[in-house]
Amino acid sequence: MKRSIFVSVTALALAAGLAACGEKPQDAAAAKVPGTTVKHDTKPWSGDAVAYQAGNFTRGDKASWESALQARMQGQNENVRIGGGAAR
């Protein structure tokens, strides 16, 4: 009786352990959802809209892109963020 319970528990633990080892393929071709793929052959300021991308710049305008990056950097600057002035 105890042996059969032990064997059953061991088999269940082994099956659960082997099931956790499986890995699903993560192909880029399977994730072809419009608006979620980044094309690396385009300039960042002229690319299509991507999900979760900040859109506070005009697409196609390099100066607007650079100004948005500068504003983001200043927002992450500790001296500016806490009111200590601009970085030197």
pLDDT at 28: 62
pLDDT at 10: 93
- Residue 73 CA to residue 1 CA, distance in Å, equals 68
Does residue 37 register a pLDDT over 80? no
pTM: 0.44
Rg (CA), the chain: 26
Asked which of 8-22, 29-43, 56-70 is least confident by mean pLDDT, the reply is 29-43
Does residue 74 register a pLDDT over 60? yes
- Residue 73 CA to residue 86 CA, distance in Å, equals 11
The pLDDT tens digits for 40-56 are: 677 777 776 766 666 67
